C-alpha cells in the first residue's frame, strides 16, 4: 500500500512539473513566434527605410537634374529612364527588396512583376491615403501594403524635384517571404524546445523521486510524533536542504519539540512537568534494577514561605522567583539527573547518584540560592528552600519513593525550614 502511494505521488509530481513546462513551452513558442514576427517587422522597417532612402539618393546622384515626364517618358536630368531597370534591379539583387519609383502616384520604374512576369509599370498606387501622407512630406511604413494580390512590408519616402515632391520611392518585401523566415525560425525553436522538454522531464523525474523520498522521511517522523514517540530523528539529508522541503523538515522538528514541551514541560519554568517527571524517574529506577551499580536518589524541594512572596509582592513576582530558581535547578541538574516542577512551588529532583554525592551537590545548590537577591520593582529579598532526600532501594515503588521524600520534606518544614532532611 505504501509503495502504491509513493508511486502515485511520484507520477503526480512528475506530471505537475512536466505539464506546466509543456504548456509554458507552447505559450513560449506562440509568444516567440509573435516576438520573432514583431522583431523582424521592426528590423524590416529599418532595413526598408534605409533601402528606400538610399535608392532615392542613388538616383539623385546618378541622374542629377530635373525630374519630369515628357510625352509619356520619365526623365531624371537629361537621361530617359523609361524602361531602364538596371539600377532598381541591382538594388533588389543586393538587398532582396522590391523597388518602385513613382511619378506622382504612378509607377514608372519597378522590380515588381505580375503573374505573367511583366513589370507593373503604369499602375497607380492602390491606396490614395498613402499618397496623401507622402506628398505631405512624410515617410510611411506598413506591414500590410496591398499591391494587386500580394501583401507587402513596404516603406515609402518622398522623391524631391528641387524643393517640391514629385513622386515616391517604395522599398518592400512580400509578407510570404517574411512568413517563410518566421516559420523556419519557429521550427528551430520547436525542435530545441522538444529536446529541452525531454531533458527537463528526465531531470524532473529524478527530482520528483528525490522529493517523494524526503517527504516520506518527514511523514515517518511526524507519524512517530502522532504515536508519542519523540526519540525519532529527522534525517540530515532533509535538514541540510535549503529549500521548502528542508524548511518543512526543520519545522517538523520544531513542532516535535513544541509538542514534547507541551506534553512533558512546565510552560512557566521549562522544567519537566509532573507526568514527565514520573516517566523520567521510572527510567532511572528501571536502570538501577537492571544494574546494581546505578544509583537513584530523589529529592523533593519546596520554596520556604512562598505564599508570603505572592501575598506581599504579587503573583508576577512569584513567577519571577519560580523561573529564577528553575534556572538554578537546571544548572545543577545538567548531565546528572532531571529537574521537575512537581506543583506550585514544589520541585522534584531525580539524581543518578547515591545519597552522599546527592547531598554534596544539594549543599552547593542551597548555598548559591542563599546568596541570590531577588529584585522586583523597588523590593529586594531572598528565599530559601527545604529538601527531603530519599535513596531508591530495589523493589521500592515509584509512589513509595516519592512519599518517602515528601515525608522528609514535611519534617524539614516542621523543624524550621532551609535545610536538607534525609532518611538516615
Annotated catalytic sites, by residue? 345
Q: Could you say which DSSP state residue 259 is in? A: H
Cα–Cα distance, 72 to 63 (Å, whole number): 18
Three-state SS for 110? strand
Three-state SS for 305? coil
Cα–Cα distance, 15 to 9 (Å, whole number): 10
H-helix segments, 109-174: 128-135
Give yes or no for a contact between 103 and 124, defined as CB atoms under 8 angstroms apart. Answer: no
Give yes or no for a contact between 40 and 175, defined as CB atoms under 8 angstroms apart. Answer: no
Q: Identify the CA nearest to 256 among candidates 266, 268, 244, 264.
A: 264
Give yes or no for a contact between 385 and 301, defined as CB atoms under 8 angstroms apart. Answer: yes
Q: Which three cell numbers stand for residue 196?
A: 529541452
Three-state SS for 226? helix
**Residue ranges with strand state E in 77-195:** 79-80, 98-103, 106-110, 140-147, 150-161, 164-174
- Please list, residue by residue across 62-79, b when 16 or more beta carbons sit within 10 angstroms of its beta carbon and e when fewer do: ebeeebeeeeeebbbeee
Q: Is residue 297 left, alpha or beta, with left meaning phi > 0 and alpha meaning psi from -120 to 50?
A: beta
Give yes or no for a contact between 349 and 339, defined as CB atoms under 8 angstroms apart. Answer: yes
Give yes or no for a contact between 165 and 158, defined as CB atoms under 8 angstroms apart. Answer: yes
Residues composing the chain: 424
Amino acid at each position: 500500500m505504501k509503495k502504491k502511494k509513493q508511486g502515485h505521488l511520484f507520477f503526480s509530481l512528475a506530471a505537475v512539473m512536466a505539464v506546466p513546462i509543456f504548456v509554458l513551452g507552447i505559450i513560449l513558442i506562440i509568444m516567440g513566434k509573435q516576438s520573432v514576427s514583431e522583431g523582424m517587422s521592426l528590423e524590416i522597417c529599418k532595413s526598408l527605410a534605409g533601402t528606400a532612402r538610399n535608392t532615392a539618393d542613388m538616383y539623385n546622384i546618378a541622374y542629377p537634374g530635373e525630374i519630369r515626364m515628357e510625352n509619356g517618358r520619365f526623365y531624371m536630368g537629361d537621361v530617359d529612364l523609361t524602361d531602364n531597370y538596371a539600377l532598381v534591379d541591382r538594388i533588389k539583387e543586393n538587398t532582396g527588396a522590391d523597388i518602385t519609383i513613382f511619378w506622382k502616384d504612378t509607377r514608372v520604374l519597378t522590380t515588381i512583376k505580375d503573374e505573367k512576369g511583366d513589370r507593373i509599370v503604369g499602375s497607380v498606387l492602390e491606396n490614395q491615403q498613402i499618397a496623401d501622407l507622402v506628398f505631405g512630406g512624410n515617410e510611411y511604413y506598413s506591414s500590410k501594403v496591398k499591391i494587386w494580390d500580394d501583401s507587402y512590408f513596404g516603406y515609402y519616402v518622398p522623391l524631391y524635384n528641387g524643393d517640391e515632391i514629385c513622386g515616391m520611392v517604395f522599398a518592400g518585401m512580400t509578407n510570404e517571404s517574411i512568413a517563410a523566415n518566421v516559420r523556419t525560425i519557429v521550427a528551430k525553436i520547436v525542435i530545441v524546445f522538444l529536446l529541452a522538454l525531454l531533458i527537463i522531464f528526465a531531470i524532473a523525474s529524478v527530482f520528483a523521486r528525490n522529493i517523494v523520498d524526503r517527504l516520506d522521511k518527514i511523514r515517518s517522523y511526524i507519524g512517530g510524533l502522532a504515536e508519542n514517540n519523540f526519540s525519532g530523528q529527522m534525517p540530515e539529508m532533509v535538514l541540510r536542504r535549503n529549500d521548502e522541503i528542508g524548511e518543512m523538515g526543520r519545522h517538523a522538528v520544531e513542532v516535535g519539540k513544541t509538542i514534547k514541551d507541551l506534553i512533558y514541560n512546565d510552560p512557566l519554568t521549562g522544567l519537566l512537568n509532573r507526568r514527565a517527571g514520573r516517566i523520567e524517574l521510572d527510567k532511572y529506577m528501571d536502570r538501577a534494577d537492571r544494574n546494581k551499580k546505578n544509583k537513584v536518589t530523589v529529592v523533593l524541594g519546596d520554596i520556604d514561605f512562598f505564599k508570603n512572596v505572592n501575598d506581599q509582592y504579587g503573583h508576577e513576582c512569584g513567577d519571577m522567583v519560580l523561573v529564577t530558581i528553575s534556572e538554578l535547578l537546571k544548572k545543577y541538574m545538567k548531565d546528572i539527573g532531571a529537574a521537575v516542577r512537581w506543583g506550585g512551588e514544589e520541585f522534584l529532583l531525580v539524581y543518578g547518584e547515591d545519597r552522599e554525592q546527592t547531598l554534596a551537590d544539594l549543599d552547593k545548590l542551597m548555598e548559591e540560592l542563599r546568596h541570590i537577591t531577588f529584585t522586583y520593582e523597588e523590593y529586594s529579598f531572598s528565599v530559601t528552600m527545604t529538601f527531603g532526600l530519599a535513596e531508591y532501594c530495589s523493589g521500592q515503588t515509584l509512589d513509595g519513593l516519592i512519599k518517602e521524600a515528601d515525608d522528609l520534606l514535611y519534617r524539614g518544614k516542621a523543624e524550621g525550614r532551609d535545610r536538607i532532611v534525609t532518611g538516615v
